[in-house]
Amino acid sequence: MASTVPLAHPSASIPGAGAPPTAEAWEAAFAVALPYADFLAKHATPDQRERWAALHSKVLLTPEQQRLLGGFVRPMPVLVLAGAWCGDCVNQCPIFAHFQAAAPSLDVRFLDRDALPDIAAHLKVCGGQRVPVAAFFSEDFAPILFYGDRTLSAYRAAAVQADTSCPTGAVVPPADSLAAVVSDWLDQFERVHHILRLSARLRQKHGD
């Protein structure tokens, strides 16, 4: 989701954020990023926090989804480029907080879209700085997957409605639509889990 909303904070530069960024640059960006609650406390207005909370309260993981997430064994850092003002972020990012609560091996952190432009430049979608975009890494910050800004289910719904405008986050999606997006995102998290779990390099490192 592109936006012209200005965010009032200085940008910073990350050494090694070239083309592509080094593992050290990704790790440095991850260190700047914030956990879910801290991100909202720093960047969201009270009204925005209410919208995020409304969506968060509607996310329900099934017992099978909780068991799947609880079975993740590899450390999985996930850097989410986001904006507290962004309707697509409101409708998706709270899902990640539920995933992390169910999977101790996950470490999901949120980076404001404009905080590190040299890193954000590598997370564009279709040439635009859309959000949210999730960057998945191994424990030593080798990139695994970049995914965003809406999931397939969300785009299918938009195509049917012939409406690709950006949501505001003021209206919580219907339960079935939200469940479909949860499933879409969980597919990506599970895929990365399997990549990490079956990596010969990481299996040698961990002796499993």
* Predicted pLDDT at 163: 55
The answer as to whether 6 is a domain residue is: no
Q: Which residues contact 206 (CB under 8 A, 6 or more apart)?
A: none
Asked if residue 111 is part of any domain, the answer here is: yes
pLDDT band of residue 4 (cuts 50, 70, 90) is: very low
At residue 42, the pLDDT reads 98
Q: What was the pLDDT predicted at 29?
A: 97
- pLDDT above 50: residue 5: no
In a domain, residue 18? The reply is no
Q: Does residue 17 belong to any structural domain of this protein? A: no
Q: Which CATH number do you get for residue 78? A: 3.40.30.10
Q: Is the pLDDT of residue 193 over 80?
A: yes
Digit-coded pLDDT (tens) for 17-41 = 777 899 999 999 999 999 999 999 9
When pLDDT is averaged across residues 135-163 and rounded to a whole number, the result is 91
The pLDDT mean for the chain works out to 91
Structural domains of the chain, count: 1
Q: Per-residue pLDDT averaged across 102-114, rounded?
A: 98
Structure tokens of 98?
Answer: 């539920």
- The verdict on residue 119 lying in a domain is yes
The residue among 73, 80, 84, 91 whose CA lies nearest residue 29 is 80
What are the pLDDT digits (tens) for 40-52? 999 999 999 999 9
Is 4 among the domain residues? no
- Nearest to residue 17, comparing CAs of 110, 198, 172, 141? 141
Domain of 32 in residue numbering reads as 23-206
Kindly state whether residue 11 falls inside one of the protein's structural domains: no
- Crossing angle of helices 175-198 and 152-161, in 10° steps, is 150
Global pTM reads 0.88
Cis before 167 (ω within 30): no
Domain contains 180: yes
